[in-house]
A and B are shown apart, each in its own frame.
Chain A
Amino acid sequence: MILRTNGLCKRFGGVHVARNIDFGIEAGEIHCLIGPNGAGKSSLFRLILGAHRPDSGSILFKDEDVTHLPSFARIRKGMSVKFQVPGIFKDLSVRQNLVISFQHHLHGHDLEATIQRVLAFAGLEGLEDKAAGTLSHGRQQWLEIGMAVGVEPKLLLLDEPTAGMSPEETRQTGEMLRSLSAQGVTILAVEHDMSFVQQIADRVTVLHFGEIFAQGSVAEIISHPGVADIYLGASDE
């Protein structure tokens, strides 16, 4: 197991965003995290990355306890993230965004080669001198995925990577994630689009009110009687 949480708890006032979460990701799998709005998916991401401190519980990454490590140190150990809210440097050029993302482990020709590779992969060739904030929404999204992927992470965390993408872009993103997975990258993705989940996921975890509601293969989750109910219940609210 590359990542594991033990009894993770976090509350904001009266809201329990994580209740006793025991959660694990196998090395090499694509794991999707689903659940209705406000279920605590993004909060679990932030706990894993150290952007939130848990009230109790622990987090192990590659069998090492990282519960008390600051975020940057967890990133250095091989995590990489694209959050739900856009996290690019809008006033800087596309190239600058990439240089800043990769410069701490790549230099000179290797850095340049990776930049070119990510530009090609994200369909951003010819746009490298543009301010990142002037790109279309879809391209910004791809740039950010490129920033997260280019560091060659062990564990890639993607919070709604396909939000706002066209069906075609979504399908391409799925292919890209599968090929990354084939190269040995473990992926944890928050996703709402069930057909996308079907396309990519090896395993699925359903969160509901900060708790793990169900876990299993895509087929198991789809046939799980309660899962449809919580989605329907959430949309009734």
Chain B
Amino acid sequence: MTRPEVNSDLNRGASLIDATPKQQRNTLALWLSRLEGPQTLGSGRWFWLTLALAVLAAVIYPLFVDGWTVGNTAYFLVWTFMAMGLGVIWGYAGSLSFGQTAFFGLAGYGYGVLTLNFGAAYGFTLLALALSVGLAALLAVVLGYFMFYGRVQGVFIGIVTLSVTLVFQAFMAQTAGPEWAIGAARLNGFNGMSGMPPLTIPWPGGDVLLYADIALYYVLLGLMLVVYLGLRMLLNAPFGNVLVAIRENPERAEMLGYDVRRYQLLGFVLGGALAGLSGVLYTAWGQYITPSSMSITAAALPVIWVAFGGRKDVTATLIGTLVMIFLYQWLTIYGSQYAIVVMGVILVLTVLFAPEGIVLSLMRWISARLASTGGRP
């Protein structure tokens, strides 16, 4: 039966989805379905609606506060990449690593050395970002290769990675003398490096300098979303399934035909590169980096965030990290020693009462409630 011309004209603007050609609609649905799966919590209309509202709130937030506060909030976002990376290594692939801060520090120093030598013109800071993240990934390849192909397992991965981090810190701390310089960049020992340019985006009317302000906040927010959604896709793809299989039973994973060590290495490098990204963003945000970024406290903090959030889920990791960093900064007003003790107490409480993570336990509880009420909130 053919419908009259008039009707189909009237219907044209009725619905965005109906108006989309069928082929395109299927492609869209396919891409959306890839964001969901057994390896990440959260699916369906309500979840994505909640996420969209959260993003909207984050987008309009700078309208209500001053630039300094927005820049400070951007600082929270800086750390989420390192935490999500640890989630991949520890939560999904099952290897507890204290090495994230080593990759963070290496990439941070890398950005400093490169930009202090070559400046910020022609978008060089973006190249420096890529090179520094690449450097962190390279260290992760080397370290991961020796660990996984050397059959280092379980708690020894934690010990080896922590040792590497602390050796790196000790090394950087003794570079105070003038002989410790790479080109124009003095390493400056315990005082660290400073004065490097912020991320600079080349723009026709004049470069945009991303100081700790609203523009940087939006860049970081966008980057965080891209990484978060990208990880959701990757973790629900066959790659993520294999990581989880390795976490649950490495011998079985091998006996199903997976090159376990290669997958462990890939997960470790991905996580390390994300830590490197955090390191560069941190250095560019505050224009300084010191060896204390690789201290034993700094190495323990990401583990605490991820444990608190819930290592086996990227969303829980992200939320938990933001909550913990906010809490940490707020507590630091009363003294940083005090803040560290509270972090430790939270870790102990998490391990005792919600070993899968506090945020993850809450999310599971909420989704169970929603399921029992038939999906209505």
Contacting residues of chain B (244-268) with chain A, CB-CB under 8 angstroms: 244-245, 248-249, 251-260
Residues of B within 8 A of A91 (CB): 248
Q: How many residues of chain B are within 8 Å of chain A by beta carbon?
A: 18
Nearest-neighbor residue (CB-CB) of A102 within chain B: B256
CB of A2 within 8 A of chain B? Answer: no
CB of B238 within 8 A of chain A? Answer: yes
CB of A83 within 8 A of chain B? Answer: yes
- In the bound complex, how far is the Cα of B92 from the Cα of A98, in angstroms? 18
Q: Provide the main secondary structure of the chain B interface.
A: helix
- Asked whether B238 lies within 8 Å of A92 as measured between CB atoms, the reply is no
- Asked whether A89 lies within 8 Å of B249 as measured between CB atoms, the reply is yes
Residues of B within 8 A of A72 (CB): 254-260
CB distance from A60 to the nearest CB of B (A): 19
Q: How many A-B residue pairs have CB under 8 A?
A: 61
- Selected from A49, A88, A99, the residue in CB contact (under 8 A) with B241 is A99
Residues of B within 8 A of A101 (CB): 256
CB of A216 within 8 A of chain B? Answer: no
- In the bound complex, how far is the Cα of B257 from the Cα of A72, in angstroms? 4
Nearest-neighbor residue (CB-CB) of B259 within chain A: A72
Residues of B within 8 A of A73 (CB): 259
Residues of B within 8 A of A189 (CB): none
Contacting residues of chain B (207-263) with chain A, CB-CB under 8 angstroms: 238, 241-242, 244-245, 248-249, 251-260
CB distance from B246 to the nearest CB of A (A): 10
Residues of B within 8 A of A71 (CB): 254-255
- Selected from A81, A90, A92, A99, the residue in CB contact (under 8 A) with B255 is A81
Looking at A51, A89, A91, which has the most chain B CB atoms within 10 Å of its CB?
Answer: A89
CB of A104 within 8 A of chain B? Answer: yes
CB of A116 within 8 A of chain B? Answer: no
Residues of A within 8 A of B241 (CB): 96, 99-100, 103
- In the bound complex, how far is the Cα of B248 from the Cα of A101, in angstroms? 13
CB of A75 within 8 A of chain B? Answer: yes
CB of A224 within 8 A of chain B? Answer: no
Residues of B within 8 A of A151 (CB): 256-257
- Asked whether B38 lies within 8 Å of A96 as measured between CB atoms, the reply is yes
- Asked whether B257 lies within 8 Å of A76 as measured between CB atoms, the reply is yes
- In the bound complex, how far is the Cα of B257 from the Cα of A76, in angstroms? 5
Residues of B within 8 A of A95 (CB): 38
- Asked whether A104 lies within 8 Å of B258 as measured between CB atoms, the reply is yes
Given known pairs A87-B249, A87-B252, A100-B245, the reply for A93 and B38 (CB within 8 Å) is yes
- Asked whether B252 lies within 8 Å of A89 as measured between CB atoms, the reply is yes
Nearest-neighbor residue (CB-CB) of B252 within chain A: A87
Residues of A within 8 A of B259 (CB): 70, 72-73
Residues of B within 8 A of A88 (CB): 249, 252
Residues of A within 8 A of B252 (CB): 87-89
- In the bound complex, how far is the Cα of B241 from the Cα of A17, in angstroms? 35
- In the bound complex, how far is the Cα of B247 from the Cα of A89, in angstroms? 10
- In the bound complex, how far is the Cα of B38 from the Cα of A99, in angstroms? 11
CB of A188 within 8 A of chain B? Answer: no
- Asked whether B245 lies within 8 Å of A83 as measured between CB atoms, the reply is no
CB of A34 within 8 A of chain B? Answer: no
- Asked whether B256 lies within 8 Å of A147 as measured between CB atoms, the reply is yes
Given known pairs A51-B251, A92-B248, the reply for A100 and B38 (CB within 8 Å) is no
- In the bound complex, how far is the Cα of B246 from the Cα of A92, in angstroms? 12
- In the bound complex, how far is the Cα of B253 from the Cα of A71, in angstroms? 10
Residues of B within 8 A of A87 (CB): 249, 251-252, 255
CB distance from B202 to the nearest CB of A (A): 42
- In the bound complex, how far is the Cα of B1 from the Cα of A79, in angstroms? 57
Please, could you name 30 A-B residue pairs with CB atoms under 8 Å apart, sorted by A? Answer: A51-B251, A70-B254, A70-B259, A71-B255, A72-B254, A72-B258, A73-B259, A75-B255, A75-B256, A75-B257, A81-B255, A83-B255, A87-B251, A87-B252, A87-B255, A88-B252, A89-B245, A92-B38, A96-B38, A96-B241, A96-B244, A100-B242, A100-B245, A100-B253, A100-B256, A103-B238, A103-B241, A104-B238, A104-B256, A147-B256
Interface positions of B (Cβ within 8 A of A): 38, 238, 241-242, 244-245, 248-249, 251-260
Given A75-B255, A103-B238, A104-B258, 17 more pairs with CB closer than 8 A:
A51-B255, A70-B254, A72-B258, A72-B259, A72-B260, A75-B254, A83-B255, A87-B251, A87-B252, A89-B248, A89-B249, A93-B38, A96-B241, A96-B244, A99-B241, A104-B256, A104-B257
